[in-house]
Chain A
Amino acid sequence: MRFNYLTSISVAALLAAGAAQAEPLKVGVLATLEGTYTVLGEDGVRGLKTALAEWKDTAGGREIELVIGSTDASPDSAVRAARKLVEQDGVEIVIGPLSGSEGIAIRDYSKTQPGVTFLNGISGAQETTYVTPSDNFFRFNTDGAQWSTGLGDYVFNEKGYETVATVGEDYSFIYTQVFGFALEYCAAGGEITERFWVPLGTKDFGSIIAALPDDVDAIYLGLGGGDAVNFLNQYQQAGGEANLIGGSIMVDGTVLSSKGSAKDALIGVPSSGPQADTWDDEKWQTYVKSYQDTFPPDQRFPSPSLLATGYYNATTAAMSCLEQVEGDLSDGQAAFRSCLTDLTLEAPNGTIKLDQNRQAIGSNFVTEVVELDDGTLANKLVKKVDDVNQTLGIEPEKFASIGLPSRDVPVCKKSY
Chain B
Amino acid sequence: MRQFVDRHPIWSIVLFVVAAILLWMIFAVWPDWLKDLIGRKKVFLNALFNGITLGGLYFLVASGFTLIFGLMRNVNLAHGSLYLLGGYIGFMTAEITGFWLLAFPVAFIVVGALGVLLQIFVFRRMEGQDLRQTLVTIGISIVMADLMLWAWGGDFYNITPPDWLSGPMSTFFVTSVKRSGELVYLKYPFVRIVIFAASIVVGVGMWLLLNRTRIGMLIRAGVDDRDMLSATGARIQLVFVAVFAFGAGLAGVAGVVGGTFQSVAPGEDVRFLLASLVVVIVGGMGSISGAAIGALLIGLAEQFGSVYFPTYAVVLTFLIMVVVLAFRPQGLMGRS
Contacts and interface: CB of A to CB of B under 8 A. Distances in A.
Interface in A208-227: 208-211, 225-226
A203 B271 contact: yes
Which 8 pairs, one residue from A and one from B, show the smallest C-beta to C-beta distance? A260-B158, A210-B46, A206-B50, A239-B168, A38-B154, A237-B189, A207-B47, A258-B156
Interface of B: 39-40, 42-43, 45-47, 49-51, 53-54, 91, 95, 149, 153-160, 166-168, 187-192, 261-263, 265-268, 271, 302-304, 306-307, 310-311, 313-314
Contacts of B43: 207, 210-211
Contacts of A208: 306-307
B310 A196 contact: yes
Contact of A260 (B159, B187, B303): B159
A234 B158 contact: no
A205 to B, nearest CB: 8
Contact of B263 (A196, A209, A230): A230
Contacts of B190: 237
Question: In the complex, which range does the number of interface residues on chain A fall in?
Answer: 35 or more
A401 interface: no
Interface of A: 33-36, 38-39, 41-42, 72, 170, 196-199, 201-211, 225-226, 229-230, 233-234, 236-239, 255, 257-262, 299
A204 B263 contact: no
Nearest to B159: A260
A199 B313 contact: yes
A83 to B, nearest CB: 22
Contacts of A225: 156
Contacts of A236: 166-167
B91 A259 contact: yes
Nearest to A42: B154
Given A42-B154, A257-B155, A258-B158, A199 B310 contact: yes
Nearest to A33: B154
**Most chain B C-beta atoms within 10 Å of own C-beta, residue among A197, A201, A211:** A211
A233 B261 contact: yes
A261 B158 contact: yes
B160 to A, nearest CB: 5
Contacts of A259: 91, 95, 155-158
Given A38-B267, A210-B42, A203 B262 contact: yes
Contact of A34 (B155, B166, B267): B267
Contacts of B168: 237-239
Nearest to A298: B153
The SS class assigned to the B binding surface is: helix
22 contacts: A35-B266, A42-B153, A201-B271, A203-B263, A205-B306, A207-B307, A209-B46, A210-B43, A210-B307, A211-B307, A230-B262, A233-B262, A234-B261, A234-B262, A238-B187, A238-B189, A239-B187, A257-B155, A258-B155, A258-B157, A260-B156, A260-B158
Nearest to A240: B168
Contacts of A204: 50, 54, 261-262, 302-303, 306
Contacts of A260: 91, 156-160, 263
Given A206-B54, A210-B43, A238-B168, 9 more contacts: A201-B271, A202-B306, A207-B307, A211-B39, A230-B263, A236-B166, A236-B167, A259-B156, A262-B158
Contacts of A257: 155
Nearest to A35: B267
A256 to B, nearest CB: 11
A63 to B, nearest CB: 27
Nearest to B152: A259
A64 to B, nearest CB: 24
A30 B98 CA distance: 39
Contacts of B166: 236-237
A210 B189 contact: no
A77 to B, nearest CB: 12
Contacts of A237: 166-168, 189-192, 261
A170 B313 CA distance: 12
Given A204-B262, A257-B155, A210 B267 contact: no
**Most B CB atoms within 10 A — which of A41, A198, A206?**
A206
Nearest to A263: B158
Nearest to A72: B267
Contacts of A207: 43, 46-47, 50-51, 303-304, 306-307
Nearest to A32: B154
A201 B314 CA distance: 10
B123 to A, nearest CB: 27
